[in-house]
Amino acid sequence: MSGAQPVVDFMRRSGWQFVARGRPIRFAGTNCYCQMIHRRTGHTGADDVLDAMAARGMNLLRTWAFQDCAERPGDCLLGAPAERLPAGKEPVDYVCEETLVALDRTIAAAAARGIYVVLTLVNNWDDFGGMNRWTLWRFGRGDHDAFFTDPTIRCWYKSLANLLVGRVNTVTGRAYRDEPAILTWQLANEARLARGGADGTAIDAWIAEMAEHIKGIDPNHMVSTGIEGFYGGSHADRNPDGWMGRCGTDFIDNHRHDAIDFATCHVWPQNWGWDPIGRPAAAMQKASRFVLCRIYDAQDALGKPLLLEEFGIPRDNAGRGPGGPTTIRDRFFAEAFLGPGEDSARNDGAFGGSAVWSIFDDATADWDDGNGIFLPQDASTDALLTAHARRMTQGSAPPVA
């Protein structure tokens, strides 16, 4: 944290650039979804990750502002029981103040190190609760896609947004709506239809409604989608794989809304069946196309910045924790993910920044999903990410007055 200066400026967008005080700024950082949870449970290491980021010039943290079911005892944000809620009750009636204090501390700790924070409000997946948990609360059973269409659940979600936007941070004394270190409210992590199909109207309507609601109660902050960046409908031919067009989202349509400030995309070659370790050349071609297509469409079709906010590759030996070889990972980072973004940035293009998945410290090694990055143990990856952060943020407007 030595030499770090606190965030004091709200971020805006101007065309396809992020700006602070009228000057462009770009981002480089990481996902660290466990920040709030670890501060709540007293697990060591949350500050170690932020210190490692600050030492390398990273200025972006993407983290969860949700925890809808207890993965471990005592760490819920919305601690409603795993059953249909009684009439007149909603999830925010079961909010845990101690967990909210842990979120306060996360935001304050990031701000003190000059790091902006992406706060994601709900998960598409069942990890940490997710949309199925919300529909369980509503119907007594999971019905994932009803999350987007059921009027009661939509009201519940707005109540959560109201709670967070109006909350006064117990560390800084400011309401969240007045916290400059919050870069964006993010509607969901990787929203998709569970049942599939080409019809993207349900998610698109939900994005428009929720983005407008949050903008209405918080004019200071940007709003983002958190989608993976698949194309649907008439744009589906831009996808490298056909299944992507059946997830109910569309990179262009979902980001055209006035209340959505910038575009997002995620890239997961291993999870999507491209076999980057076994077939690196073919996977590299797909990954590069995926990133470049979205950079171009963010600029030319949307006129908005793009954040590449999740990307990861397993170690060459598919191992977990520090120590395994990362030759293939480093090549993908340099050639498919970070390199194209830097080319765009050098030409004043729409690439606004990146957030790798995911930096861990020694104390959180057991949370590694196989894509974890450990600093400084993963020396070659460390060097890549550090150089990328310095190139991306060099010449950007400093996040201080």
Task: Provide the pLDDT for residue 1.
Answer: 52
- pLDDT digit string (tens) for 352-374? 999 999 998 877 788 888 999 99
- pLDDT digit string (tens) for 271-291? 999 999 999 999 999 999 999
Task: Provide the pLDDT for residue 398.
Answer: 42
Q: How would you classify the pairing of strands 222-224 and 12-14?
A: unpaired
Contact 68, 134 (CB under 8 A): yes
Structure token pair of residue 47: 């500050």
CA–CA dist 50, 112 (Å, integer): 10
- pLDDT digit string (tens) for 153-212? 999 999 999 999 999 999 999 999 999 999 999 999 999 999 877 688 999 999 999 999
| Cα distances (Å, whole numbers) of residue 64 to 93, 106, 128, 182 | 19, 10, 9, 12
* pTM of the model as a whole: 0.95
Interval 40-57 mean pLDDT: 92
Alpha helices in 56-191 (DSSP H): 97-112, 130-139, 146-149, 151-166
Task: Provide the pLDDT for residue 72.
Answer: 60
Task: Provide the pLDDT for residue 376.
Answer: 92
Task: Provide the pLDDT for residue 73.
Answer: 60
Given pLDDT bands bounded at 50, 70 and 90, which one contains residue 401? very low
Interval 374-378 mean pLDDT: 93
> 90, 228, 309, 310: which is the annotated catalytic residue?
310
Task: Provide the pLDDT for residue 399.
Answer: 40
Given pLDDT bands bounded at 50, 70 and 90, which one contains residue 397? very low
Domains of the chain: 12-393 (3.20.20.80)
CA–CA dist 112, 126 (Å, integer): 32
Mean per-residue pLDDT over the chain, rounded: 93
Interval 227-232 mean pLDDT: 97
- Concerning whether 190 is annotated as a catalytic residue, the answer is yes
> 190, 228, 309, 342: which is the annotated catalytic residue?
190
